């Protein structure tokens, strides 16, 4: 599958926090950093939104025991996603903007530099998927790449069902139904409702693919054939 987008120049990459969870992530991070650097040198602009991963969940669990509200727990998770973000930003070296933006105002300021902007969460009550959609809309991004730990969206849970089939295209309405269907939504991380409303109203090209296959991500950015799921409007 290729995207068929005429010219991709501004890319938002949503990176699952899972790659920060353990030492195996080092290679993925290095490889991803290397890809983004080389494409940035070719003139592409990147906003990279990173999730919180296991450490965010650990902290949230700790906070829950201390009696924090749901909003406060989200805020703690957001801080952890920012630690992940700073780690990736330092790995990108002089190509990355610093410090990590903590609000839309700061993101916009960061974006007016010529740097790769890495960020974590922004606000309680929304996931980092929503952040990816929000910043994509603000900068008129040509593409959102949602890089998760599976190859895209399947017709059933690929971790339980070895026969699960990767869907090449999913209509935004189908994605919307999947999000309403809790059982489905529960087993792998897709997109939240805030983000969905945004990509829907602005018809932002959106692709789900694996974070572990950097070469595949490169192909998607290049507008070449790649493995993954494309949302159609």
Where on the chain is the footprint of its own copies (CB under 8 A)? Answer: 20, 23, 25-26, 29-30, 33, 55, 59, 61-63, 65-72, 75-76, 79-80, 82-83, 86-87, 90-91, 93-94, 96-99, 102-106, 108-109, 111-113, 115, 122-126, 130, 133-134, 137-140, 193-194, 197-198, 201-202
The minimum distance between CB 89 and its own copies, in angstroms, equals 9
- Which residue number, 93 or 171, has a Cβ lying nearer to its own copies? 93
The minimum distance between CB 104 and its own copies, in angstroms, equals 5
Assess contact for 167 and 228: CB atoms under 8 A. no
The minimum distance between CB 51 and its own copies, in angstroms, equals 15
- Give the whole-angstrom CA distance, residue 133 versus residue 197: 9
The minimum distance between CB 153 and its own copies, in angstroms, equals 21
Q: Return the closest-CA partner of residue 52 out of 27, 88, 20.
A: 20
- Which residue number, 24 or 161, has a Cβ lying nearer to its own copies? 24
Residues 48, 53, 57, 59: is their CA dihedral positive or negative?
negative
Distance, CA of 38 to chain centre: 19
List Cα–Cα distances, 121 to 11, 71, 127, in angstroms.
Answer: 18, 13, 7
- Which residue number, 1 or 78, has a Cβ lying nearer to its own copies? 78
- Which residue number, 109 or 173, has a Cβ lying nearer to its own copies? 109
The minimum distance between CB 62 and its own copies, in angstroms, equals 7
- Which residue number, 2 or 69, has a Cβ lying nearer to its own copies? 69
Which residue intervals of the chain are DSSP H helices? 25-41, 53-65, 70-92, 104-111, 128-138, 172-180, 182-187, 193-202, 214-222
């Amino acid at each position: 599958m290729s995207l068929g987008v005429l010219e991709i120049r501004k890319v938002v990459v949503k990176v699952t926090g899972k790659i920060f969870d353990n030492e195996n992530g080092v290679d993925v991070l290095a490889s991803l950093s290397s890809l983004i650097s080389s494409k940035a040198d070719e003139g592409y602009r990147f906003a990279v939104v990173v999730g919180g991963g296991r450490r965010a969940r650990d902290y949230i669990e700790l906070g829950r025991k201390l009696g924090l509200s749901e909003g406060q727990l989200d805020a703690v998770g957001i801080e952890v996603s920012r630690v992940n973000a700073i780690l990736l930003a330092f790995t990108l070296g002089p190509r990355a903007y610093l410090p990590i933006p903590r609000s839309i105002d700061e993101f916009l300021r960061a974006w007016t530099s010529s740097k790769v902007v890495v960020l974590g969460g922004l606000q309680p009550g929304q996931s980092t998927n929503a952040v990816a959609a929000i910043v994509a809309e603000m900068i008129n991004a040509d593409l959102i790449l949602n890089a998760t730990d599976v190859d895209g969206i399947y017709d059933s849970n690929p971790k339980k069902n070895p026969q699960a089939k990767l869907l090449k295209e999913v209509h935004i309405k189908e994605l919307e139904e999947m999000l309403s269907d809790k059982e489905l939504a529960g087993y792998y991380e897709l997109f939240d409702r805030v983000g969905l409303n945004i990509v829907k109203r602005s018809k932002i090209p959106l692709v789900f693919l694996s974070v572990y296959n950097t070469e595949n991500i490169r192909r998607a950015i290049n507008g070449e054939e790649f493995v993954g799921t494309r949302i159609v409007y």
